[in-house]
Amino acid sequence: MIAGIFAAGAENLEVLFNLFLIIFFAKLLAEIFERLKQPAVVGEILAGVIFGPSLLGLISSSEIVKVAAEVGVIFLLFTVGLETNPSAVLRVGRKAIIVAILGVVVPFVAGYALMKVYDGSSAEAMFLGAAMVATSVGITARVLSNLGLLDAPTAKIILAAAVIDDILGLLILTVVSSVTVGGVDYGKLFFTASLAIGFTLFVVFIGAPFVTKISPKIERLKIGNSFFIFGLLLCLGLSVASAYIGVAAIIGAFLAGMALAEGAEEQPEMIKQTNGITEFLVPIFLVNIGMALDVSVFKDYSTVLLAVVVTVIAMLTKIFGCGIGALDLGWRRAGQVGIGMMPRGEVGIVVAQIGLGLAVIDNKIFGVVLFMAVMTTLAAPPLIKWIFSQEEALFKTIDTEDAGGIVVNQEDWSRLG
């Protein structure tokens, strides 16, 4: 019995030490990249590649790390939602729908065609197309938040399009998975789509106004940090509800934050508390993405070539596909939308895992998709920083002019033309 206690203690110690190393290496590389004037996100993902199982093997993934990573991205999107006014998102709704549809159709067709050129089966081609459809808005949101640009007009389009993109991606994955195992249940597909769309519209049009209305009553509760506790419950509750109906949990977290956005404006302490959780958990999420890349599958030259081609096409199809939907805003802003929708991150990895689990794709294609997911995620932050450089300069100018508080409104952004 005593031996069992010590064994359990040793296991817990190993988990804690692993988490310590993950956060230490993530922040070490984040600091290096910040000093090189590059986004810290890139350093945190590279920490997983360099110090993870593929190379140095100093850190490793586990069920606990994966759960912490999942909770981390949930709180990241919740924090982004807190800084996103529902009315601002609704104003770009039509544009976001066009961007999302083109951002799904173009990558899927390109991925399918590419796999057929490489003599892949129809099932492999569909799974590659589905993986290329995915968008990991958590990465883009992290970069834009660090740059203070979540109020930029194109940032609103990206966030709204990402919600729609996730619903469309879910439907495509459902169809692809069904086709590969025998057939499509159209009734179930329609039901899932209706639930996903209805859930989103309910939170935006009914949930958000209701939460804003009851916010003063929540603040009068006797428990400490009542608004923060309410926010946590709403975040986790909507994440569960979102996952239950088949949409990614991060969409529920984002909608929860958006529902609280107006009330949170009067609760700066709640924002600080949420940011504290986010700063602890998000590095685990980013490092975990890096650890998912197994470099050993790239010993074969043909696999490397395929991975590079898939990655380049994955980047270009999002940039041009989503960019075309925003072309009437000008070339630069269309590019901002396209690049902002480019990273696949954990969403692409999940699609690859489903394909491998169904034995539709082999380890080679799985490695190619992982490479594409990680490389598009690594490439996005510096490109986002570059293409949003004018907005970042405007933000700094306004910040200098008004050190006591800064509100960047549509008129401020219009200076950029």
Tens of pLDDT, residue by residue over 273-309, are: 888 888 888 899 888 878 877 777 777 788 888 889 9
C-alpha span between 282 and 373 (Å, rounded): 18
CB atoms within 10 A of CB 40: 21
- pLDDT tens digits, one per residue of 158-200: 888 877 776 677 677 767 766 666 655 667 667 777 777 777 7
Are the beta carbons of 314 and 335 closer than 8 angstroms? Answer: no
Question: To the nearest whole number, what is the mean pLDDT of the chain?
Answer: 78
Domain extents in the chain? 2-400
Classified by CATH at the fold level, domain 2-400 comes out as: Na+/H+ antiporter like fold (1.20.1530)
Q: b/e per residue, 279-289, with b = 16+ CB within 10 A?
A: eebbbbbbbbb
For residue 65, the number of C-alpha atoms closer than 13 Å in the C-beta half-sphere is: 26
Asked which of 16-20, 91-95, 328-332, 412-416 is least confident by mean pLDDT, the reply is 412-416
C-alpha span between 162 and 168 (Å, rounded): 10
**Residue 39: closest CA among 135, 110, 140:** 140
pTM of the predicted model as reported, rounded to 2 decimal places? 0.68
C-alpha span between 183 and 172 (Å, rounded): 13
